[in-house]
Structure 1
């Protein structure tokens, strides 16, 4: 089928034609008719399948028909980046419709807030907001939601993970009961179903390829030690003149550290929560415009960015949640394009990668380490998951002999804050006899090593001396 089948308003169809939208994706094909019928909906589909258009197009069509000049639709998103992206897509689809939207999010300066406030005052039909900022507006009496007809929750599972469930319920209390509620999610855990029962009315359920990655993604992994990761990522990036690469790290500290290493030889930027909102927007804009080729970030960018032509995704750290792997990999091979995803798996993360393979229903190809690299750890697969395999220690280039524990010399007493390591009786040195404190007080030189109240008679064989 094609978009003409939906019988959209001529101005909306004209916009789709101008943007080159010919055939709907599976989630669009199934969700759009349900939304156009006015029914509540729970839709679950992997990232990169066109979920935004699936809920934006029928809403724009409804507003275009009714000619609403007041606030009609509220879209909630977990992050600023996703809210901005949704707003941009709405502007593109509604180019010939004259329908306005405004993104509402925190973290900006006074100028951004004034722009948001002005857009609300002039009567935007659609508001795309993060829950925290919207709660502040509602509490201050700065928004009237009495005319609202549609509530849409995008990336609902992400909002649950970020602890927004209570905020969403507070927001719902401000909304008319007679409304259409639409919930989109990339995964469908039990908590999402339980939550949906509180805000949806007899919803239709649609699920598309849960936990699956896009067919156009070539997936592979390297079994490596952490000490090999920096050299390996440099090797991979030097093999081809990539135009768009995303590297995912587990923490913002790792993002900063890797950025410091790679910026010496590559066009790279770091994206993390310590940046100001203006900095984040500038970096994302540069990445989308190919002014920056490589973006390093945490899972904050695994959702909510839609950059055309991302060629490579590197999981510098194996994600702890298998579903996060799907979201990360979903940054490439979007809209039936092709892409590559490479994951670095260290010994302690092997069981995590087994869970990922189980979720996506396939065995990921293991690449041999490039020539010149020391041998990496053995990848055991299911055996690692069963045995809790942590791998052998990484080889060290500068091996040092293990020092033997220091034995007391002469008459020096052991430090009271460091218990003596156990030794075989044949090697156990005879401890010096403690001198009675009352009869032989410690000299000035010995006070630091023999503080008061440390006699064996008072504390006995004490294992932990840290109170």
Structure 2
């Protein structure tokens, strides 16, 4: 369907023509006619389907055709992130270029000047306010906004806002709005929380579901089955001799985003990072540089995966597997937009194989496995069931599983009831046994006193015995020591000679000389034995013995080397064919 076929005002059609909007998307074709009738709508549509124009165009058309207070806020659009609020505001400026309506984007993370601009826009009564929940509440608390003229309330990416914990903030804002209004909810998924909130804030809504959950076929999806330690090396090889152009790399952790950005910057690549640690001015600068092609690679968390409209994205890399299938669709949906082709690569570690299996089941096809280069070592096998069992055992060890057998939970309840009754009986038993326990404690005290007395007497006896032993030792030391010498009587001199060696004599004793001689003889015998052994070995070599065994060993080694060469050649051929398949659809040129 063409936009000219819709009942839109001429000024809106002029703006659409200036922005080169010709044909409607499925969500626009279904939602715009219903919203023009001012009915409440809950729509399930993925990002990149044109849902922003689906609610902005009928909003501007109704503001232009109906009476409204020009000095008050007439419409509020809620968005989960600053980036999405900015994008909606930019689309608003384009569509309303030929209309007299004004808008203001209200979000946090900026300086005082931006706060003043937002405050002036709210106090002066901007027609449309595009805001995040938290910043709008802060302005409400300061009485900077009047809700009495609000006729339209739109929630974009409602499921995302609930995931980020904005449910209470949204309900506080809804209570302040007039009851006579049109409420619109757009969501990529429809979990029970969204359905419950829709029942509370919508009145007889029209439901619109666009079944475009699967990514377009123009996206070439592929994967690497690798270990966590191999991911960074694969990245280096991907961009080693290639010049990237408009690449988005997603990671679920901001610390990992910082590490990846530093690694790629060391390779002299123009890299920007996007995560929650950046303030609003830094985020805007990074997005501006990326859109203007001054940055080739954008490393980001899932903050960019939803609602950010950037054209000509050639490659999306998932450094880790998203937890939800919807997040995977949102991530790779950044490429191949508006009918263009693109490519998506996912790094799958063993811990994420069960998540990747869910994605393949959802897509109903097997995603191509790119072979990991052999120089990076061995890769894990793709076996999601094994890793799922390992995770299941860990969960069972930490948490109590509910019984899956029939009547299992009833049995557990009976056991718990009996335990409670047993506790009551134990309380009565304790009261009965207090008296007996007191008497037993008195008897125990008397027994302990008797034992202490016996221990003291035993210690005294042992001390006396030790003192006696010490006295005996001292008496032995005081006795004169007799020299054990052989005495010879010389009748000529009438003196006794001892066989003890004179202290002035420096000549060694004969016994020690004998021992030294024996050691020298032993050393000489060992040396002679070794010499005779070497002579025997050399004689065998000269005689030609052992030649047959050596030649056989050499032949065996040569055979092994030949077989290894053949294997290496076959592996190289396989790698070449794999590289041809891979590099044939690589979108970048060489550096």
Residues 339-391 of structure 1, C-alpha deviations (whole Å, 9 max, x = no match)? 1111000011100111122233332221112464323211135x35754489x
Q: TM-score when scaled to structure 2?
A: 0.64
Tell me the residue number matched to 2:342.
339
CA distance in 1, matches of 2:391, 2:294: 43
Tell me the residue number matched to 1:411.
none
Q: Which moved more, 1:201-210 or 1:72-81?
A: 201-210
CA distance in 2, matches of 1:264, 1:90: 40
Cα deviation for residue 210 of structure 1 reads: 5.5
Tell me the residue number matched to 1:112.
114
Tell me the residue number matched to 1:53.
53
Distance of aligned partners of 1:109 and 1:388 in 2 relative to their CA distance in 1, 3 Å threshold: same
| Bigger RCO (CA 8 Å, 6+ sep) | 1
CA distance in 2, matches of 1:384, 1:41: 45
Distance of aligned partners of 1:358 and 1:133 in 2 relative to their CA distance in 1, 3 Å threshold: same
CA distance in 1, matches of 2:130, 2:58: 16
Aligned counterpart in structure 2 of residue 296 of structure 1, from 287, 291, 299: 299
Residues 179-206 of structure 1, C-alpha deviations (whole Å, 9 max, x = no match)? 1100001111111111111100111111
- Asked whether the equivalents of residues 47 and 307 of structure 2 are also in contact (C-alpha less than 8 Å), the reply is no
Determine whether 1:77 maps to 2:79: yes
Cα deviation for residue 336 of structure 1 reads: 2.3
Tell me the residue number matched to 1:261.
263
Tell me the residue number matched to 1:305.
308
Cα deviation for residue 72 of structure 1 reads: 1.4
Cα deviation for residue 139 of structure 1 reads: 1.9
Determine whether 1:363 maps to 2:371: no
Q: TM-score when scaled to structure 1?
A: 0.80
CA distance in 2, matches of 1:185, 1:361: 24
Determine whether 1:25 maps to 2:10: no
Q: Secondary structure of 1:335's partner?
A: coil
Cα deviation for residue 322 of structure 1 reads: 1.9
CA distance in 2, matches of 1:362, 1:178: 48
Q: Secondary structure of 2:293's partner?
A: coil
Tell me the residue number matched to 1:195.
197
Tell me the residue number matched to 2:159.
157
CA distance in 2, matches of 1:234, 1:95: 46
Q: Secondary structure of 1:103's partner?
A: strand
CA distance in 2, matches of 1:67, 1:374: 70
Q: Secondary structure of 2:316's partner?
A: strand
Moved over 4 A (4+): none
CA distance in 1, matches of 2:30, 2:252: 35
Which is helix-richer, 1 or 2?
2
Distance of aligned partners of 1:117 and 1:364 in 2 relative to their CA distance in 1, 3 Å threshold: same
Determine whether 1:330 maps to 2:326: no
Q: Which moved more, 1:112-121 or 1:255-264?
A: 112-121
- Asked whether the equivalents of residues 212 and 361 of structure 1 are also in contact (C-alpha less than 8 Å), the reply is no
Tell me the residue number matched to 1:145.
147
Unaligned runs of 5+ in 1: 391-438, 440-467
Q: Secondary structure of 2:77's partner?
A: strand
CA distance in 2, matches of 1:375, 1:345: 14
Aligned counterpart in structure 1 of residue 324 of structure 2, from 321, 334, 343: 321
CA distance in 2, matches of 1:34, 1:384: 50
Distance of aligned partners of 1:33 and 1:388 in 2 relative to their CA distance in 1, 3 Å threshold: farther
Unaligned runs of 5+ in 2: 393-458, 460-591
Residues 379-405 of structure 1, C-alpha deviations (whole Å, 9 max, x = no match)? 135x35754489xxxxxxxxxxxxxxx
CA distance in 1, matches of 2:190, 2:378: 40
Tell me the residue number matched to 1:234.
236
Q: Secondary structure of 2:239's partner?
A: helix
Tell me the residue number matched to 2:211.
209
- Asked whether the equivalents of residues 219 and 343 of structure 2 are also in contact (C-alpha less than 8 Å), the reply is yes
Q: Secondary structure of 1:334's partner?
A: coil
Q: Which has the larger radius of gyration?
A: 2
Residues 258-303 of structure 1, C-alpha deviations (whole Å, 9 max, x = no match)? 1111111211011111112111111111111111111111111111
- Asked whether the equivalents of residues 123 and 144 of structure 2 are also in contact (C-alpha less than 8 Å), the reply is no
Tell me the residue number matched to 1:16.
16
CA distance in 2, matches of 1:26, 1:384: 42
